Amino acid sequence: ESSGRITNQFIRFSFSPTISFGKRKALSKQVVVKPALNFGYFQYNLNWNRIAFGDVIDPAFGFIFSTQETKNLESLSAPDFGEGILIYGEKFYGGFYYHHITEPEVAFLYPTSPLASKLVFLGGYLMKDYKNSKKNIPQIMLSVKSIILDTSVGSLKNVSASNAPRT
């Protein structure tokens, strides 16, 4: 059963070089700011031969008709931009990143279908157990894309090299 959506089995993501850069700036001995700019280019290819539209299906005999849909594009490419900032210190980090600032068009079938921009906020704080030299970094990430809000909460743990098991 099909949902009518074009999925990744029909679209091939073929090309995406990206360049990111930013200069680190110390605000104090303990706090550093690192802005970032991202410039990229993407290309998608669509295999029209693998798509079956609803107008080609006969309820009794299956796929027997020709589609009335117009094949517009077989490949699509555009520049893509992002920006963000990371602030960190010895015991914390936080920042945000804004993906797809220009909302490039990714429409194969319909006139307009922009790639929705996404704003991601993230942060964490180092909590150290001095007795065992173990580090625990609780973290949170909040992502907003169009009307979708996604929250991720987790924790990173590590053991210092001086107390790591020897092999």
Give me the pLDDT at residue 54, please: 79
Q: Give the closest residue to 161 by CA, choosing from 133, 139, 136, 138.
A: 133
Give me the pLDDT at residue 16, please: 62
Ranges of residues in the chain with a pLDDT under 70 are: 1-18, 20, 129-134, 156, 158-167
The contacts of residue 124 (CB under 8 Å, 6+ apart) are 92, 93, 94, 137, 138, 139, 140, 156
Confidence (pTM):
0.64
Q: Tell me the CA end-to-end span of the chain in Å, nearest whole number.
A: 53
Radius of gyration (Cα) for the chain, nearest Å?
24
Give me the pLDDT at residue 83, please: 92
Give me the pLDDT at residue 2, please: 43
Give me the pLDDT at residue 131, please: 64
The contacts of residue 21 (CB under 8 Å, 6+ apart) are 36, 37
Tokens of 56: 């080609």
Give me the pLDDT at residue 13, please: 55
